[in-house]
Structure 1
Amino acid sequence: MISDTSRGVVAATLPVVGEHIEEIARRFYRRLFSEHPDLMDGVFNRGNQVHGHQQQALAGSVAVFATALLETPERVPEQLLQRIAHKHASLGVRADQYQVVHDHLMWAIGDVLDDAVTDEVAAAWDEVYWLMANALINQERGLYSARGVRPETVWRDWRVVRRIKESDEVVTLVVRRVDDRLVKASLPGQYVTVRMRMPDGTLQPRQYSLTRADDGEHRQFSVKRVRGAGGDPDGEMSTLLHDSVKVGDVLTLSVPYGDVVLDDSRPVVFACAGIGIAPMAGMLSHLVAAESALSVTVLHADHDEASFPLRRQVVNDVLALRNARMYLWYENGSRSLEPVDGVFEGLMDPGAVEPAQDAVYYLCGPLPFMQSVRGRLLDAGVAARDIRYEVFGPDLWQADLD
């Protein structure tokens, strides 16, 4: 809880900080990497830096946290902190790195706002930062402890034993452990961070959802090829995994993390588009392994049947479950050779399917898709607390805060 002294200062300065927060974030990252280039080598996704996504996410998170301290001082934005903490844990972020971030962020605030940052203002925002940082440090400490790892030991080598071409744009990689250490099972819906050396020598991390339940020896994840648009380059990690990684190669993966995991105590509805099927495939695989009788409804949208990633695995898992249904929406027609419960042409309309009572909804896919589906669900009377979503990359939506 923020002190009474700082509360008034933050309330008075939040509008001007909020107005300039994205510029503050840009200058912060520029100076951070200039002074600590090692942080770009294995910790930060430089693709997100190029597109500005990381800057926007940082700016939004700080502004939201400060606002919560003022408006709901009795509770912090738990979903926001959980999402960040899981990302950080999957990257092996250390507690001491928060001091480095603090120093450069406070510098950036002063550099942008100049004379407006008095000693009193600096002290108030310093308090905001450490309230947020310490909350994250505590959560991350718990996440490391639960997995029996330390920040430097979240990583482990795995050997590629199978490549599956799911579609022209998606490849699935199956990896097997190369040592005798115990494999702690992932939770349904979680992801791993893959770390690889890029052609220029820089180590880069990317997160990928686990698309099949662990069996004690293997893990499976699927990668969509990232195509550059508007002159942007293609995704460097996805290009390597598609074009260069072969059976027998060794990859470095983190232990699994992720806060969007399956609640199997209630009926579930999975609504996804494109590669957004990935975490849903992992959840379905866990349900099959558990021989679950849970009521499951899968709603999936894609361009057409050929572009539907993990289609064979997902359909087989739906058929294997005792109480599961599946409906498809294809932009380019309404034909399917799969034994599903319904196929529609056009964009997904969850209202076309009778929902299970008291269901939890899981969304994943492009942001406009999730915004549209979530809006329709809310209009239909589904409570916001019953709609959960997974974002690939920094969360620029933060719909959990609605």
Structure 2
Amino acid sequence: MVNTDEQNNWQSVVKTVKKLDPKKLEIVKSTLPVVKEHGEAITKRFYQRLFEHHPELKNIFNMTHQITGHQPKALADAVYAAAANIEDMSPIMSALERIGQKHRSLNIKPEHYPIVGENLLGAIKEILGDAATDEIMNAWADAYDVISDVFIRMENQLYKNAETQSGGWAGFKDFVIDKKVDESDIITSFYLKPKDGKQLPVFIPGQYITVKVEIEQEKYTHLRQYSLSDRPGLDYYRISVKREDPIREGLPPGVVSTDLHKYFNEGDILPISSPAGDFYLDINSQEPVVLISGGVGLTPLTSMLNYIANEQPERKVYYIQAARNGNVHAFRTHVRNVSGQHPNVKSYFIYEKPTESDKEMHYFDKEGFITLEWLKEVLPSNKAQFYFCGPTMFMKVVNSILKEWGVPEQDIHYEFFGTFGNLEDEV
């Protein structure tokens, strides 16, 4: 669980990080523009080198993201942002936390950093060619040492906290699939209980776990993060997984999501990490909450909803779910029941393309898309904590709407895996 003391400790790590030699700092600053210009080419070559020399690391990295280009872009953004802020990384603290949490959930260890550094610097040299002089490469090698030192020290604290908390563990622990429940045509929930029968560590609604999937038909182990979709304090963890079909021709379906749907059943073992993540409900506040989700982005927000309904009965919460139609909409009945039983909860469903059955059964409240005008109709004001999650374009729209409405930046929270930047940086 993330707490204020931990965040203060990370700020201390950033402020006390070893400093780059002034001359080398100037070299890094002067070469930042060219590194940024060639960032994705450098990181694509980095991953090629990495997997050529260390194919075992394919057991950690998401290989689908290599095909789509998502991972190289994310790494390019991270390298540039960290180098640009190397004198004082406090301004990118939230991004550092996000990546540190993910690294801990993937079991990234200090010994991985020299391997990454060697291949990243090699890729820079290859792409920049003669322009990458020995002096420039030495400066960037020292800069990488500074950046990796920050992550190693942050992540050491995360590992310690995960292992020493009540019920905690290191690395991956075997869980049994206690129940497997179809929530819609494409979303299935897995109820997970520890094989050893021990208590579960608490988590903050909104956080995720990493699952380790090993399939006979697959050469490498696959690690994926899935948000916990039920509240903390129960005797199980629940993840609700969307079957990821190919997003366009030539791309494979989601390997892990497909495997979970096809091959994993009740009684099977699924190793998982302890909960992690920097996107979570402020459980110490009683401010009104607006939860806005698109598609399977409802999973962390459903955890928040269930927590508030059970633990904060006076706290106002507005749950807004956008889906294509009722066939793919998960937790519809559950959410309606919660809002019917708890006066502090209101729920609204928006269907882009409702079926005739959806219309006959009155399954939705609005047809089409979320708009600012509609939000103003259903919400009493913009004085609330806004949490949202969903596909990138959906979140860009929601973020834009909230900014247009004048919602302060500190009241806007979103789940965004795999990036060092923010929604404004995404294209």
The answer, yes or no, to whether TM exceeds 0.5 is: yes
Partner of 1:261: 280
Q: Which residue is 2:423 aligned to?
A: 399
Q: For residues 353-372 of structure 1, what are the alpha-carbon distances to aligned partners after superposition, in whole Å with 9 as ceiling and x for unaligned?
A: 33545312111111111001
Bigger shift: residues 82-91 or 330-339: 330-339
Residue 207 of structure 1 pairs with residue 225 of structure 2: yes
**Structure 2: segments with no counterpart, 5+ residues:** 1-18
Instruction: Give, in angstroms, the shift of residue 90 of structure 1.
Output: 0.6
Question: Is structure 2 residue 106 aligned with structure 1 residue 91?
Answer: yes
Is 1:365 the counterpart of 2:390? The answer is yes
Aligned-partner Cα distance in 2 for 1:235–1:223: 11
Give TM-score scaled by structure 2 length.
Answer: 0.87
Compute the RMSD of aligned alpha carbons: 2.4
Alignment correspondent of 2:369: 347
| Counterpart amino acid of residue 301 in structure 1 | A
Deviations along 1:271-303, one digit per CA (max 9) or x if unpaired, are 111101011011112223314321211121111
Task: Name the stretch that deviates more: 379-388 or 124-133.
Answer: 124-133
Cα gap change, 1:205/1:118 in structure 2, threshold over 3 Å: closer, same or farther?
A: same
8 Å Cα contact 1:288/1:320 also seen in 2: no
User: Aligned runs of 1:173-188 on 2, under 5 Å?
Assistant: 173-188=190-205
* Map of 1:378 onto structure 2: 403
- 1:173 to partner: Cα distance: 0.8
String of CA shifts for 1:293-338, please: whole Å, max 9, x gaps: 2121112111122321122233333334331222221112484857
SS at match of 1:306: coil
- Residue type at the aligned position of 1:207: Q
Q: Does 175-184 or 353-362 show the bigger shift? A: 353-362
Aligned to 1:114, the other structure's residue is in SS state helix
Per the alignment, in what secondary structure is the counterpart of residue 365 of structure 2?
A: strand
Which deviates further from its counterpart, 57-66 or 301-310? 301-310
Q: What is the CA–CA distance in structure 2 between the aligned matches of 1:46 and 1:74, rounded to whole Å?
A: 29
Task: Check whether the contact 2:294–2:390 (CA below 8 A) recurs between aligned residues.
Answer: yes
Tell me whether 1:102 sits opposite 2:102 in the alignment: no
1:55 is aligned, of 42, 55, 72, to: 72
Shift of 1:400: 7.9
Number of the residue aligned with 2:7 = none
Verify the 8 A CA contact 1:173 1:220 in the aligned structure 2. Answer: yes
- In 1, distance between residues paired with 2:227 and 2:360? 26
SS in structure 2 opposite 1:318? helix
Q: What is residue 111 of structure 1 aligned with on the other side?
A: 126
Q: 1:243 to 1:30 in 2, by over 3 A?
A: same
For residue 396 of structure 1, report the CA deviation from its aligned partner. 7.2
Shift of 1:153: 2.6
How far apart, CA to CA, are the structure 1 residues paired with 2:89 and 2:301?
A: 34
Point out the more displaced range, 308-317 or 235-244. Answer: 308-317
Partner of residue 347, structure 2? 326
TM-score (norm 1): 0.92
Q: Of 21, 30, 34, which aligns to 2:48?
A: 30
SS at match of 2:225: strand
Other structure's SS at 1:10 match? helix
- Deviation, 1:226, is 0.7
Counterpart code for 2:142 = E
Change (3 A) 1:267 1:56: same
Matched ranges for 1:140-289 at <5 A: 140-148=155-163, 153-198=170-215, 199-228=217-246, 229-264=248-283, 265=285, 266-289=287-310
**Secondary structure of 1:159 counterpart:** strand
SS for the counterpart of 1:251 is strand
What is the identity, as a one-letter code, of the residue corresponding to 1:369?
F
CA distance in 1, matches of 2:174, 2:83: 40
CA distance in 2, matches of 1:388, 1:401: 16
2:115 is aligned with what amino acid?
Answer: V
- The CA deviation string for residues 37-82 of structure 1, in whole angstroms up to 9 with x for no partner, is 11112x1111111212111100011112222337xx3734011111
Q: 2:331 aligns with which of 307, 310, 313?
A: 310
Secondary structure of 2:86's match?
helix
Identity %: 32
Q: Kindly state the Cα deviation for residue 176 of structure 1 after the two structures are TM-superposed.
A: 1.5
Residues matched between the structures, number: 396
Please name the residue that 2:58 is paired with: 40
Q: Is the 8 A contact 2:305 2:319 kept in 1?
A: no
Question: Following TM superposition, by how much is the alpha carbon of 1:125 offset from its aligned partner in structure 2, in angstroms?
Answer: 1.6
- Whole-Å separation in 2 of the counterparts to 1:394 and 1:327: 29
Matching residue within 117, 125, 132 for 2:147: 132
Shifted more, 87-96 versus 286-295: the winner is 286-295
| Long gaps (5+) in structure 1 | none
SS in 2 for 1:83: helix
Return closer, same or farther for 1:208/1:35 CA change in 2, 3 Å cut-off: same
